[in-house]
Structure 1
Amino acid sequence: MKKVLVIAKPDHSLTFINDSQFFEENGISLSGYCLNATNRNGLLSKLSRKVTILNDNIKGSFTLTILGHINRFLIRKGIDSGKIFYAACDLYFSRVNYRDVVLVHRWPMFCYGSWLRKLELKVISDCYELNPIYLKNIYADEYNRYGLKFHSSNLFRHEHNYNTLIDSDYIIAPSKIVVDSYRGIIDPEKFVVNSYGTMGMSYNPKPIKENIIKNFVFLGRVCLEKGIGKILEAARLLSTNDISFTIIGPIDEACYKLIEDFDDVKNVKFIGPVSKRDVLSNLKDADFFILPSLSDAYGMAVIEALSLGIPCIVSSRTGCCDDIVTYGMGKVFDVEDNDEFYQCILEFSNLSLADYSQYREGINKFFIAEKSSNYKNRTLSIYKEVIKNEK
Structure 2
Amino acid sequence: MALEGTHESEKLVSASQMNKEATILAIESSCDETAVAVIRGNAQRADVLSSEILSQIQIHREHGGVVPELASRNHITALQPLIQQALDAAAVSMSDIDAFSATAGPGLASSLLIGHTAAKAMAVATKKPFIGVNHMEGHLLSPFIERDQGIEENLALVVSGGHTMLLHTKAFGQYELLGKSTDDAAGEAFDKVAKMLGLPYPGGPEIEKTAVNGDPSAFQFPRSMMQAGMLDFSFSGLKTAVLYTISELNPDTGTAQPQQLPDLCASFQQAVIDVLVKKSVMAAKSVNAKHITMSGGVSCNGALRAAMQQACDNNQLTLSYCSPALSTDNAAMIAYVGLHHFLNNNFSDLNSDIDPNLPLNTLILRN
Tell me if both proteins adopt one fold, taking TM over 0.5 as the criterion: no
TM-score range, shorter chain: 0.3 to 0.5
Which structure has the higher relative contact order (CA within 8 Å, separation 6+)? 2
Larger radius of gyration: 1
TM-score norm. by structure 1 comes to 0.32
